[in-house]
């Protein structure tokens, strides 16, 4: 019997493995065009670093993002949800402000 707690959270066949934020945006956009309700302009990327330091990349992209049109900021797990909601709402948090704030951190991570 397989232990559900120890199963990998990512399929080895996932199309997102080793993709850049722009490539993830494009894959998510394709899903949306195929009928999914996924938001492809604001999303979270969990990568290898996420396993090491409990951080994620928050990605923002325009509808038709091209090279250089995606922005991302690395944040701690604790604030990822609220920051992403704030970016989507545009009222509480700004990715531009967070990108400036992260420049002042030692490890390039926005934390509480």
How many whole angstroms separate alpha carbon 42 and alpha carbon 54?
20
Question: Domain spans of the chain?
Answer: 17-103
Which of 67, 59, 66, 26 lies closest to 43, judged by CA? 59
What is the overall mean pLDDT for the chain?
87
Q: Exposed, middle or buried, 46 (CB in 10 Å: 0-12/13-18/19+)?
A: middle
The pTM for the full model equals 0.82
Structure tokens at 87: 């970016």
- Of the two residues 9 and 2, the one the predictor is more confident about is 9
Architecture of domain 17-103: 3-Layer(aba) Sandwich (3.40)
Contact of 90 with 42, CB cutoff 8 Å: no
pLDDT tens string 60-95: 988 776 766 789 999 999 999 999 999 888 777 889
Structure tokens at 27: 């894959």
The CA-to-CA distance between both ends of the chain, in Å, stands at: 40
């Amino acid at each position: 019997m397989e232990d559900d707690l120890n199963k990998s959270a990512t399929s080895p066949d996932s199309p997102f493995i080793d993709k850049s934020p722009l490539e993830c945006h494009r894959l998510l956009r394709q899903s949306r065009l195929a009928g999914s309700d996924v938001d492809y302009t604001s999303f979270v990327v969990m990568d290898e670093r996420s396993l090491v330091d409990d951080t994620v990349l928050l990605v923002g992209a325009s509808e038709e993002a091209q090279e250089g049109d995606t922005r991302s900021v690395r944040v701690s797990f604790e604030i990822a949800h609220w920051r992403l909601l704030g970016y989507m709402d545009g009222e509480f948090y700004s990715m531009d402000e967070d990108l400036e704030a992260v420049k002042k951190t030692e490890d390039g991570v926005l934390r509480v």
